[in-house]
Structure formats: structure tokens, C-alpha cells
């Protein structure tokens, strides 16, 4: 929404301050002003000139030789390149030696053999608008030689407002002016129009009314609350006077003709959309507001033809739709230079139906914007009256004394209540009733006499449909007081009754772990392509693109695409982790919620599930390149080491070879991407805590130089938050270490051997470590050698060799009994 | 014998010169040991010169004694250096001079995401004024996302959030504000929570828009919380996060779930208020939407809106990270490019 500062000044007598200062006041008091645009600041060199003669340039098809009267008494020759130059018309003119805005100096020069002294200008050249298609024809009675700037009421400044959805009242100049009106002043004063004026006698009807052969009917009261019509006969359609054109241009609107300009003027001044029909072009004697019929057609003012549906609301005459209610008029009944009699529409259309009409036809207009957000229903009479007065003043004609009014009298003003005590409670301000009234009355709120000192009752002006409750009034008081005028005083507080969410702390701990292990945190968005999505993927109903059409069901596969991204940039070593959400569908799908469900019932009916997870991926070198020797590649044992450390740090449970079970608990972890014989599962609960392993190369788009990729994914909820660490006494007596190497069948898992040793050893065995695994020369086919270091220690004495020998014997006996072991050395 | 003192000092100086020459020229431990005995041994030159000290007049003794000690210390120090050098030379190490300018051996740098850094810092600051951290689901019902927050579904206010729907009435949350409703449905005041998390909008990707991004919601509800305290809490945060010299500016705004609503600007932390491209020449940068909780929200969750008041706010840590670290394009945040992430280790 653009407003003209000159127009605001005209509405608020005595308004002080530069355009920028006014913009700041609006920004800090009401709504943001995005930009302040000076308009016509340097037009001192431009005058109005009349083209007295125009003939083709002898040497150029597109040029015209003009003789121009610029009020100097001497005719001036000007060569003009615009297609729209007309004999007798007025245009802005720059004489030689003068400058265009921006500082370009115009000089006399020869153009294709003909002298040109100065230039006729387009809107764009004067930096007044975007129109560069022709020179700017000026409509009105101007004297050649008159200052262009003063004729156009320039300079001005345009404020670009960023309207919030609640403050539709600020979409017009009167609304913005009220925000600027000083306390105790005269408020907003509307310009008085010269001429006869109009004070109608209203012909009322609930659903229809008729006057002088014109009948108006509201067929569907849900779609239109009130519809007012005025008839003006014998107008002369033509250009608007200069002041009116200047106002419209100042607000960024284009003058069209005096009738349309008058409706636009009232729109921009008071926010009421109005429409002028050419009365002669309406068929029959009645128009009505009704739902469009399916397939009904209408060509709107912009020339577009629409095929309508019953979701649209139309104004229709005997032959069919003539306008889209609250959105746009029809071309057929549009006001043209030949129009003599007018029907002026001033209505209150329903916001939701207007929204549907606009959406169905793909139109978004100044009118629909306002109706969708709610117009001032109380102000219809005033707006229509003012519009008729303006048309009579600038287009002549005579208005029927009777006005037609369907839908009833204006609704009475809403009443909103405010307790000064509540001002103290919520705002922390101690304001008297009188002060509150002072703050609110410039905005149009009228203190009613039926309130008390403890309960102020205000009449809410019709244009403030957003103000109904006490808290709405509180906001008005706070704004008028000035947000920055509030003190900023810390107060004592009670601690929150809400405990920390454990997932937040879990995420913190996981981040610290991985950052410490040399991993970088990725934050991927949870959208995936079909390729990356699992069978039970969740499609978005209206995705932005095919590449982001689904929600991820696991984190690891998204990290894989991040690895691919790094590969594309030529990077081979990548270590990433992420903490985020994986999504899934609940199975079986829960039943639909009952009618008017409670929040819990809504949650219960949610067909989707989500789970916080963390995942990591690792590929490439163990460490960065170093001149002292190149690093080796990450392998399965690096992965298992990380997994073991994770499991220990976060108490995730045992790490075991992946059993390949396919059940509801495992499915979520990026199913299908793991190489099953190089993967591990973690956890001993009902559900796995997570899975990690080598990623199947078929799940990756890898360059030839890529290293194997390992990844893991875990439920964040499996991370134990309670700190279970307890001190263990430090050893006081020396330990005895023994090595033990033996061969046994390669098929026996090391973990079974380890548990057998631990089981057989007395509590003296304090540490057990596998330090060598060997298969090959010197060891029989089908067997392998395992070498262990055993450390024995007693808490209360130095062990004797005898005690240790005894323990070793027990272990050996156990191993020989359980497995076919052969001792290599001990 | 007035010149005995100076004479002895001269003799000591001579011993020093000769000793230095002898130690420097020794090429083996044996030669060095011989030189040590000659100069520093029990009956060596230094020791003998020192014994002559006794014969000096009392006033000469201190100065000459000190000179003797200096010579002895200097020779002892040199002996030590030479001994180490010869030992090193004999073991063959000094031939290979180590180039200490070569780069050291390093491990991979790990670190958290720049947006995490911002979130952590914000959480820490609000913890100081009694806030705890809450979370909420990313898939929400339209009731939690809109209705509970006083946003009618068929209203232009809902246009502000272009929403990803998953099913009838089920959507990806467009803001972290539904956590407000969830918290209040579960807990009674006093409530002071911060809820960081991902939110979703149907905004196509460009340098400053992503279809999902992080947000931090804040909510404080208790008896006696007013606009004055609200300003103070925000000011406290701004001064801690952006620096004590930073000023705040509160502007009216519109959020259906707060009233009065305010947009909070801070003096631009890049140009310090003088005007730059980040603040579009205004000297101010918008950092959060906020306001006093609308009583309609309290009523939706069953709080007594006459008794309790509160404030709520929402800010974008991703946007703050872009500004703070001068990252020109939001897409960089979500690509997982290691070269980018390494810069924030």
C-alpha cells in the first residue's frame, strides 16, 4: 500500500515533520514503512507546453516535428519521438539549458537534419512512473509556461506501507492520517468538494428495494450484508481535474476518467471500494447479488474472460453476471466516454465469499483485498455520499434524491471495554481514565457515558473491525503510549515448573561426542527424493519440487546425499553427523478423530509418527594428509570403535553383529543401505538402539576415487541422560600380566572366546585384551591364532605367581573344554 | 699494594679467555674433561686464583671475589653446553637439523553447526533468567499450529504461513509456537520455556529462503508479568547476545497469539547503526516477533487469563547465524559441505 505524504498533510491540518519523520512515526506507532520514495523533487526546469502543430519528420518515420507553445511568446521547434504526440495537447517540456531529474542537461541539437530545442517528456523521464511508452499527456486547463511541478502538486513523497492483516484500516489515507493526528487536535479533516452536494432519502429494503425504475436485490444474504446504490444522470465523462489526478498519482494510482477516478479517490481516502456501472448498459430494471451459476461467463474490466462456479459471487442483471462482487467490474457495463447515466455501487461483501471469488478467478484487486479483510460497514452511507458529491463536482449531472439501500440500516457501533486496572496488570502502566481516553480518542474511539471509572466503555469506530476485546484496546493504549516509552525493569521471577526436555540434553551430549571425535555437524532439511525414501515414505501433499517430495524416514540416507555433495566438490574424506527427526506412518493407521476433538484426541488420530535420531557417516582417510606419511583409509574397525565408544558413553547396550532381523524396530534405520555382513546392531531392549555398518555401494553415487562409506543411525531416546558413573578405588597393589596365544577353528567368534575366559577367570582378572589375530603360514588351514593379554590384580595384596598360575590353568581348562584350542605360547 | 686487586681481576679475565678457548676447541669428552680439570678442577686455575683472594686488602676483596665467581659460572655454563654438544655429535644427531617450520600432524577437526552455536548461546542466556528448554513435534495438527494460537484457518492471517500439509488437518508446523500450547496443556504456571526447533514454510529456495529453517520460541507465564518485564527480558537477552552497547527498538506488529504484539529491532551489529546493506541503511535489524500472550491463547489451553499474564517471542537462529557470520546464502547452512562446516569448528 502506497500513501502520498501530500495527501496525508491535506487530511491532518498542522501536520509537522519531514516525510522520513512521518514514516518513522508510522513505523514505531502502527505498521512498518518499507520505503520512503521522493517524487518529483527536481522538476524545477519542467514547464507545461502545448503542441500547436505536429507534422511528420521528413527524414525519419518515427519522429514528429512539433511546434510548441511554452508560454515564452515564441513558437519553439521540438523533434519528438513519442507515438502519442497530438496537436493541441499539453505535455511537460524541458527547455534547452534545463535539466531532467537525475541531472541530465538538455541542449538544442539537430536530429536527422532538423533542429530540436528542448524535449517533451514521458513519466519515466521525469521519474514519476514507469510509463516510457509515450510522452505524458496532461489533462486539464493549464496555461502553457506554467510550472509543471506546481500543477502536479509536486514535490511529494510516497510511503510504501507493509500492511499487517489486522490493520486493513491503514490501507487508506484517512486511516494513516488518524495515526498521525496529534492528540487534542482537530483530527482528520476530509477535503470539501465544491458543487451541489447530495443528501439522499434512503429507500430501504431487507432483501430488495427499488427507486425510479432501478431495483436492487440481495439474493444471498450470506454473501452480501448491505448494498447501497445511487443514480446519477447526465454526467460528462472526461479527464479529472489536475488536483484529483495529482492525488491519485501521488498514491501510485493511474487516472482514467473523472467517474472512475472519483471511485478510486474514495477508495484511497476512506477505504471503501465503489463501482460505477453504466446504467444504460444494464439489462432489465433489476440487478441482484447472487452466487454465480456453474459455467456462467463474464469478461472483467481487465479484458479477461472467466468461466464462473457457484463459489463466485456476482452482480447480475437480467442477462447474467455484470460484475464479480467485491473483486472487479465487468467490461460490458464499464463507464466509457459515452456514458451518461450511472449506478454507483457501495456495498459490504462477505470476506470469505470474496476470498473465494478472487481465488476462483485468480484475481487479487484493491477491492478484494479490502473486502477479504473487512471494510467499514458503518461507513457505507458516508462513502457513497462523498463519492456522489465528488462526481457531481467534477463530472456534472444530477443525482436522484433517492438512494437505494438493501440489507438494512448501518449496524450499531461495537463496544469494547477496558479496565484501567488491567492496563496496570498487563502493561505495567498507571494511567488515569482521562489519560486513556486522550490516547484513544484521536483514533476514533469514543468514551461512552455508560461506563465507570473501573470499567471504561468505548464505541469502536466502524473502520476498526480488529478491535473488539479488552486486549485489543490494551494494544491501542500501548501503541499510543509508545512501545519505546515503556521502562525496561527486570523483575524477580519464579523458576519454571517445566523440566528440561530430555531430548534436548541428549542432543547436546551427542553433539559434544561427535565434535570431539572429529565429526562436523550437518543440518539437512528432512526432505528427500523418491530414490532416498523408503517404502513407507511420506509424501508432501504439495511439495516444492520432485527432489523434495517426501519426508525422510531415516537420517543416515540423507547424510549419504551430503557425502555425495562433498564428493561432487572433490572431497574424499568426510565425517558428518546430524541430530534430527525421522518420520514414519503409524501402523495400523489410527481412526479418524471424533467430531470436535480434544487436543489429545487429535494427537491420537495423527496417522504419522516422528522420532528424534542421530546419525553419522564416515569415509576417506583416518587423518588429514601429512608429509610424514600418508594416512590409511577408515575401515570397518574404525566404525566399530566409534560404535563401541558411543554404546559405552551413552549406555546404549551391547554391540553385536547385525542379525538381519526385519521387524518394525529395525525397519526405520535406512533399510536396504547396509551391507548385512558388515553391520552391527546396538541395544538389548525391545527395540534396537541403532544400526551401524558399511554402506552398500549400490546405495551411493560414488566417483571412482571414493573410499568405502560407513554410517550409523541411533534413536536419540536410547541415550541415557542419568549420570551413572561411580568412583572405583584406584589399584594399590601391582598387577601381573600374562600373554596367552592359541589356535582354534576360525568359525568360533572372538566374543565367545572372550566370554569363556571371563567366565573361567576368578575376580582377579582385571583386564583382558585381544592383541593379535593371525591366520596363514604356520597355522593349520581352517584355524586361526588369537593372542590375548591378561592382567591380574588383587585389591588387597600383591599376587603370587602361584595364584596367577592357578588362574591361568583354570582358564585353559575352560578353553580346552569349550573349544578345540591348541596352545601356541604362554 | 694498591694495584693487587686489579691485577688479580686481570688474571681472572685471562683465565676466562683461555678457558673459553680450551672448552670451545675440545672435540671429545676426554679433551673436555682435561680442560675442566685444568680450569675448574680442585687445584685448577680458577680455584688457585680465588685462593689468592685472601691476600688482598679488605676493600678489594668483594669486587674481585665477585669477578672470580662470574668467571667460574661462565666457564661452568660453557662446559655444560659443550658437553651436551659433544655428546650429541658423538651419537650422530646434530648432522640432521630438524626443520621446525614443517606442519605438525593433526587429526580431523570436529565441530557443531553455526546454527547450533547460536541456539546454544541463546538457550544459555535465557537459562540465566529461569528458562528451561522444551521440545515439540514437527508434525502438528492444524488445531495446535493455528487454532490454539488464535489463528482462524480460513483467514488471511493463515496466509502468512504457506503450509506443507501431509493429510487432512495434519501439517508440518509453520512455527515453533504450537509448543506453547503443548506446554501449557501439560504444565501449570509458572512457565518459562524456550523451544528451539525446525519449522516449515512453502518458500522456494533462494539466497534468503529455505523451505525449512530453525526457530526458537520463548514463553513466560505467571502472575504479575507485564510489558515492562517483557521489555527487560528481551533487553537482557539482546545485551548479552549482541553486546551491551546494542540498543533495542520495539515496533507494533501483528501476531494473532500475542497482544500487544511487537517486532524487536536491534541496532545493526554489522555497521553499529550507521547504515549498511544488511540493515538496508536503516541502522536497525529485525530479530524477533514478540508480545504479551493473547488471553484467547490462555483460554484455549485452560489457563485463567484474568490471573495469569505472560509474554512470548520467536526468533530465527538461522537468520542470526547468517548475519553474525556474514554467510551470504542460506543454502550453505543446509548443504552439509565439509569445507563450509569446518569454518565453524
DSSP string, B152-201: -TTSHHHHTS---EEETTEEE-SSSTHHHHHHHHH-PSPEEEEEEEEEE-
Residue B228 is predicted with a pLDDT of: 96
Partner B contacted by A516 (CB < 8 A): yes
Interatomic CA distance for residues A385 and A371, integer angstroms: 20
Calculate how close chain A gets to B189, using CA atoms only, in Å: 7
Find which of A162, A351, A426, A514 to mutate to test the B interface (most B CBs within 10 Å of its CB): A426
pLDDT in tens, A683-739: 887 788 999 999 999 889 999 999 999 999 999 999 998 888 889 888 899 999 999
Quick check: is B217 in a domain? yes
Give mean pLDDT, residues B270-286. Answer: 82
The minimal CB distance from B134 to the residues A424, A501, A518 is found for A501
Rg (chain A; Cα; Å): 42
Calculate how close chain B gets to A478, using CA atoms only, in Å: 7
Interatomic CA distance for residues B344 and B117, integer angstroms: 9
Q: How many CB pairs lie under 8 A apart between chains A and B?
A: 276
Find which of A487, A493, A638, A717 to mutate to test the B interface (most B CBs within 10 Å of its CB): A493
Residues B61 and B129 in one domain: no
> Considering only CA atoms, which of A411, A247, A396, A223 is closest in space to residue A313?
A223
Quick one: cell of A88? 493541441
Residues B131 and B196 in one domain: yes
| Structural domain for B256, as ranges | 114-344
Residue A724 is predicted with a pLDDT of: 83
Quick one: cell of A142? 493549464
Residues B141 and B277 in one domain: yes
Residues B139 and B285 in one domain: yes
CA distances from A475 to A420, A456, A505, B261 (A): 13, 15, 38, 8
User: Taken in order B136, B140, B146, B147, is the CA torsion positive or negative?
Assistant: negative
- Restricting to B residues 133-172, those with a Cβ less than 8 Å away from any Cβ of A are 133-135, 137-139, 141, 143-144, 148, 154-157, 159-160, 164-167, 169-170, 172
Quick check: is B165 in a domain? yes
Last residue within a domain, chosen from B56, B76, B91? B91
Interatomic CA distance for residues A170 and A678, integer angstroms: 67
What residues in A contact B189, CB-CB < 8 Å?
497
The minimal CB distance from B131 to the residues A166, A470, A496 is found for A496
Q: Are A352 and A363 in contact (CB under 8 A)?
A: no
Last residue within a domain, chosen from B24, B59, B91? B91
Where chain A has pLDDT below 70, the residues are 130, 532-536, 661-668, 670-671, 825-826
Contacts of residue A73, Cβ cutoff 8 Å, sequence gap at least 6 = none
Residues B172 and B87 in one domain: no
Quick check: is B233 in a domain? yes
Partner A contacted by B325 (CB < 8 A): no
Beta bridge partners of A316: A288, A321
Quick check: is B101 in a domain? no
How many distinct helices (H) and strands (E) make up chain B?
Answer: 13, 10
Residues B53 and B166 in one domain: no
The pair phi, psi for residue A576, each rounded to 5°, is: -125, 150
Q: Is the bond leading into A208 cis (omega within 30 degrees of zero)?
A: no
The minimal CB distance from B336 to the residues A472, A514, A562 is found for A562
User: Taken in order A524, A528, A529, A535, is the CA torsion positive or negative?
Assistant: positive
Residues B256 and B170 in one domain: yes
Single pTM value for the model: 0.82
| DSSP per position, A484-523 | GGS-------PPPSSPPPHHHHHHHHHHHHHHHTTPEEP-
Domain harbouring B144, CATH code: 3.30.930.10
Q: Are A317 and A285 in contact (CB under 8 A)?
A: no
Residues B199 and B316 in one domain: yes
**Residue B3 pLDDT > 70:** no
What residues in A contact B181, CB-CB < 8 Å?
599
Question: Residue B275 carries which DSSP code?
Answer: -
Partner A contacted by B233 (CB < 8 A): yes
Residues B74 and B163 in one domain: no
Q: Are B297 and B323 in contact (CB under 8 A)?
A: no
The pair phi, psi for residue A120, each rounded to 5°, is: -90, 140
| DSSP per position, A624-691 | ---TT-PPPBP-HHHHHHHHHHHHHHHT---EEE-----STTTTTTTTT-EEEEEEEEE--SSS-SEE
Of residues A104 and B270, which shows the higher confidence score? Answer: A104
What residues in B contact A517, CB-CB < 8 Å?
110
Residue A153 is predicted with a pLDDT of: 81
Calculate how close chain A gets to B145, using CA atoms only, in Å: 11
pLDDT in tens, B102-126: 999 999 999 999 999 999 999 999 9
Find which of B129, B260, B283 to mutate to test the A interface (most A CBs within 10 Å of its CB): B260
Residues B82 and B154 in one domain: no
Residue A824 is predicted with a pLDDT of: 76
Partner B contacted by A632 (CB < 8 A): no
Residues B200 and B296 in one domain: yes
Quick check: is B274 in a domain? yes
Lowest mean pLDDT among A54-63, A354-363, B313-322, B329-338: A54-63
Residues B41 and B133 in one domain: no
Residue A826 is predicted with a pLDDT of: 45
Q: Do A541 and B193 touch (CB under 8 A)?
A: no
Interatomic CA distance for residues A312 and A823, integer angstroms: 92
Interatomic CA distance for residues A602 and A593, integer angstroms: 6
What residues in A contact B220, CB-CB < 8 Å?
493
pLDDT in tens, B49-95: 888 888 888 888 888 888 888 888 888 888 888 888 888 777 765 55
Q: Tell me the angle at which helices B29-40 and B61-91 cross, rounded to the nearest 10 degrees.
A: 170
> Considering only CA atoms, which of A294, A291, A407 is closest in space to residue A356?
A291
Q: Do B138 and A581 touch (CB under 8 A)?
A: yes
Residue B13 is predicted with a pLDDT of: 87
Q: Do B192 and A503 touch (CB under 8 A)?
A: no
Structural domain total, chain B: 2
Amino acid at each position: 500500500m502506497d500513501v502520498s505524504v501530500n495527501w496525508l498533510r491535506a487530511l491532518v491540518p498542522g501536520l509537522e515533520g519531514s516525510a522520513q519523520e512521518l514514516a518513522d512515526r508510522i513505523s514505531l506507532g502502527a505498521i512498518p514503512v518499507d520505503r520512503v520514495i521522493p517524487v518529483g523533487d527536481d522538476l524545477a526546469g519542467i514547464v507545461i507546453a502545448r503542441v500547436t502543430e505536429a507534422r511528420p519528420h521528413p527524414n525519419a518515420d518515427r519522429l514528429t516535428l512539433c511546434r510548441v507553445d511554452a508560454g515564452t511568446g515564441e513558437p519553439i521547434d521540438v523533434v519528438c519521438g513519442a507515438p502519442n504526440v497530438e496537436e493541441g495537447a499539453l505535455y511537460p517540456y524541458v527547455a534547452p539549458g534545463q535539466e531532467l531529474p537525475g541531472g541530465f542537461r538538455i541542449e538544442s541539437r539537430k536530429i536527422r537534419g532538423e533542429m530540436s530545442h528542448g524535449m517533451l517528456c514521458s513519466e519515466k523521464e521525469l521519474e514519476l512512473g514507469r510509463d516510457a511508452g509515450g510522452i505524458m499527456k496532461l489533462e486539464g486547463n493549464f496555461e502553457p509556461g506554467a510550472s509543471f511541478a506546481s500543477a502536479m502538486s509536486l514535490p511529494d513523497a510516497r510511503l510504501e506501507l507493509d500492511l499487517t492483516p489486522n490493520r486493513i484500516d491503514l490501507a487508506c489515507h484517512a486511516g494513516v492520517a488518524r495515526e498521525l493526528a496529534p492528540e487534542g487536535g482537530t483530527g482528520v479533516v476530509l477535503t470539501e468538494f465544491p458543487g451541489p452536494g447530495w443528501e439522499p432519502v434512503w429507500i430501504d429494503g431487507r432483501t430488495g428495494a427499488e427507486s425510479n425504475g432501478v431495483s436492487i436485490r440481495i439474493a444471498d444474504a450470506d454473501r452480501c450484508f448491505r448494498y447501497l446504490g445511487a443514480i446519477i444522470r447526465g454526467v460528462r465523462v472526461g479527464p479529472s481535474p489536475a488536483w484529483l489526478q495529482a492525488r491519485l498519482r501521488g498514491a501510485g494510482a493511474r487516472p482514467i476518467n473523472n467517474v472512475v477516478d472519483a471511485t478510486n479517490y474514495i477508495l484511497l481516502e476512506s477505504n471503501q471500494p465503489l463501482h460505477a456501472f453504466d446504467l444504460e448498459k444494464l439489462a432489465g430494471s433489476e440487478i441482484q447479488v447472487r452466487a454465480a451459476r456453474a459455467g456462467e461467463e463474464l469478461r472483467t474490466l481487465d479484458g479477461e474472460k472467466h468461466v464462473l462456479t457457484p463459489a463466485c459471487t456476482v452482480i447480475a442483471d437480467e442477462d447474467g453476471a455484470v460484475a464479480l462482487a467485491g473483486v472487479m467490474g465487468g467490461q460490458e457495463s464499464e463507464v466509457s466516454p459515452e456514458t451518461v447515466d450511472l449506478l454507483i455501487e457501495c456495498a459490504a461483501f462477505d470476506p470469505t465469499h470474496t476470498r473465494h471469488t478472487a481465488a476462483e478467478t485468480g484475481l487479487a484487486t484493491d477491492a478484494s483485498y479490502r473486502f477479504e479483510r473487512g471494510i467499514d460497514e458503518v461507513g457505507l452511507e458516508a462513502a457513497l455520499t462523498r463519492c456522489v458529491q465528488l462526481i457531481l463536482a467534477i463530472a456534472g449531472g444530477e443525482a436522484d434524491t433517492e438512494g437505494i439501500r438493501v440489507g438494512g440500516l448501518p449496524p450499531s457501533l461495537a463496544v469494547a471495554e477496558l479496565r484501567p486496572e488491567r492496563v496496570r496488570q498487563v502493561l505495567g502502566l498507571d494511567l488515569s481514565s482521562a489519560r486513556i481516553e486522550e490516547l484513544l480518542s484521536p483514533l476514533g474511539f469514543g468514551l461512552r457515558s455508560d461506563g465507570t471509572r473501573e470499567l471504561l466503555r468505548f464505541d469502536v469506530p466502524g473502520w476498526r473491525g480488529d478491535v473488539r476485546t479488552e486486549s485489543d484496546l490494551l494494544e491501542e493504549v500501548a501503541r499510543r503510549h509508545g512501545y519505546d516509552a515503556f521502562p525496561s525493569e527486570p523483575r524477580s521471577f519464579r523458576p519454571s515448573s517445566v523440566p528440561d526436555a530430555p531430548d534436548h540434553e541428549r542432543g547436546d551430549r551427542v553433539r559434544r561426542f561427535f565434535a570431539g571425535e572429529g565429526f562436523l555437524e550437518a543440518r539437512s532439511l528432512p526432505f528427500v527424493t523418491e530414490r532416498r525414501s523408503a517404502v513407507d515414505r511420506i509424501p508432501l501433499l504439495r511439495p516444492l519440487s520432485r527432489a523434495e517430495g517426501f519426508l525422510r524416514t531415516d537420517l543416515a540416507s540423507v547424510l549419504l546425499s551430503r557425502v555425495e555433495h562433498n564428493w561432487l566438490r572433490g572431497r574424499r574424506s568426510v565425517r558428518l553427523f546430524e541430530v534430527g527427526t525421522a518420520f514414519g506412518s503409524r501402523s495400523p493407521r489410527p481412526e479418524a478423530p471424533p467430531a470436535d476433538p480434544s487436543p489429545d484426541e487429535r494427537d491420537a488420530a495423527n496417522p504419522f509418527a516422528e522420532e528424534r535420531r542421530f546419525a553419522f557417516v564416515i569415509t576417506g582417510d583416518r587423518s588429514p594428509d601429512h608429509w610424514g606419511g600418508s594416512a590409511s583409509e577408515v575401515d570397518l574397525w574404525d566404525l566399530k570403535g566409534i560404535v563401541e565408544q558411543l554404546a559405552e558413553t551413552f549406555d546404549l547396550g551391547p554391540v553385536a553383529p547385525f542379525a538381519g532381523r526385519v521387524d518394525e524396530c529395525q525397519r526405520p534405520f535406512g533399510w536396504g543401505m547396509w551391507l548385512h555382513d558388515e553391520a552391527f546392531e546396538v541395544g538389548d531392549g525391545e527395540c534396537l538402539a541403532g544400526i551401524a555398518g558399511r554402506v552398500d555401494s549400490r546405495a551411493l553415487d560414488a566417483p571412482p576415487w571414493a573410499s568405502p562409506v560407513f554410517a550409523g543411525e541411533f534413536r536419540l531416546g536410547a541415550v541415557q541422560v542419568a549420570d551413572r558413573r561411580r568412583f572405583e578405588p584406584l589399584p594399590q597393589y601391582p598387577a601381573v600380566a600374562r600373554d596367552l596365544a592359541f589356535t582354534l577353528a576360525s568359525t568360533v567368534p572372538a566374543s565367545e572366546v572372550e566370554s569363556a575366559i571371563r567366565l573361567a577367570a576368578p575376580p582377579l582378572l582385571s583386564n583382558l585384551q585381544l592383541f593379535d589375530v593371525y591366520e596363514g603360514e604356520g597355522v593349520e588351514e581352517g584355524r586361526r591364532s588369537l593372542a590375548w593379554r591378561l592382567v591380574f590384580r588383587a585389591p588387597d595384596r600383591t599376587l603370587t605367581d602361584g595364584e596367577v598360575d592357578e588362574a591361568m590353568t583354570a582358564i585353559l581348562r575352560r578353553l580346552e573344554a569349550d573349544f578345540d584350542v591348541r596352545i601356541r605360547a604362554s | 699494594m694498591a694495584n693487587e686487586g686489579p691485577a688479580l681481576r686481570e688474571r681472572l679475565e685471562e683465565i676466562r679467555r683461555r678457558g673459553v678457548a680450551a672448552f670451545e676447541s675440545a672435540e671429545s669428552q676426554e679433551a673436555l674433561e682435561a680442560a675442566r680439570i685444568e680450569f675448574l678442577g680442585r687445584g685448577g686455575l680458577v680455584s688457585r686464583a680465588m685462593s689468592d683472594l685472601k691476600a688482598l686488602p679488605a676493600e678489594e676483596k668483594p669486587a674481585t671475589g665477585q669477578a672470580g665467581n662470574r668467571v667460574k659460572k661462565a666457564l661452568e655454563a660453557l662446559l655444560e653446553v659443550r658437553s651436551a654438544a659433544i655428546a650429541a655429535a658423538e651419537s650422530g644427531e646434530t648432522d640432521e637439523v630438524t626443520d621446525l617450520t614443517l606442519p605438525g600432524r593433526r587429526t580431523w577437526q570436529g565441530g557443531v553447526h553455526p546454527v547450533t552455536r547460536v541456539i546454544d548461546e541463546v538457550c544459555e542466556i535465557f537459562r540465566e533468567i529461569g528458562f528451561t528448554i522444551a521440545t515439540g513435534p514437527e508434525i502438528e495438527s492444524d488445531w495446535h499450529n493455528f487454532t490454539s494460537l488464535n489463528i482462524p484457518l480460513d483467514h488471511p492471517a493463515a496466509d502468512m504461513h504457506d503450509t506443507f500439509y501431509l493429510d487432512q488437518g495434519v501439517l508440518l508446523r509453520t512455527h515453533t509456537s504450537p509448543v506453547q500450547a503443548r506446554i501449557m496443556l501439560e504444565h501449570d504456571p509458572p512457565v518459562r520455556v524456550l523451544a528451539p526447533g525446525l519449522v516449515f514454510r512453502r518458500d522456494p529456495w533462494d539466497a534468503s529462503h529455505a523451505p525449512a529453517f530453525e526457530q526458537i520460541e520463548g514463553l513466560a507465564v505467571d502472575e504479575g508479568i507485564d510489558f515492562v518485564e517483557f521489555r527487560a527480558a528481551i533487553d537482557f537477552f539482546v545485551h548479552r547476545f549482541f553486546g551491551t552497547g546494542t540498543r533495542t527498538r520495539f515496533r507494533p506488529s501483528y501476531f494473532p497469539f500475542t497482544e500487544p504484539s511487537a517486532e524487536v529491532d536491534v541496532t545493526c551489529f554489522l555497521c553499529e547503526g550507521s547504515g549498511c546493506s544488511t540493515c538496508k541503511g536503516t541502522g536497525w535489524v529485525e530479530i524477533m516477533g514478540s508480545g504479551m500472550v493473547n488471553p484467547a491463547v490462555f483460554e484455549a489451553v485452560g489457563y485463567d487469563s484474568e490471573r495469569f499474564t505472560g509474554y512470548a517471542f520467536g526468533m530465527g537462529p538461522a537468520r542470526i547465524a547468517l548475519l553474525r557470520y556474514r554467510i551470504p546464502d542460506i543454502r550453505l547452512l543446509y548443504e552439509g559441505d565439509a569445507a563450509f562446516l569446518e569454518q565453524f569448528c
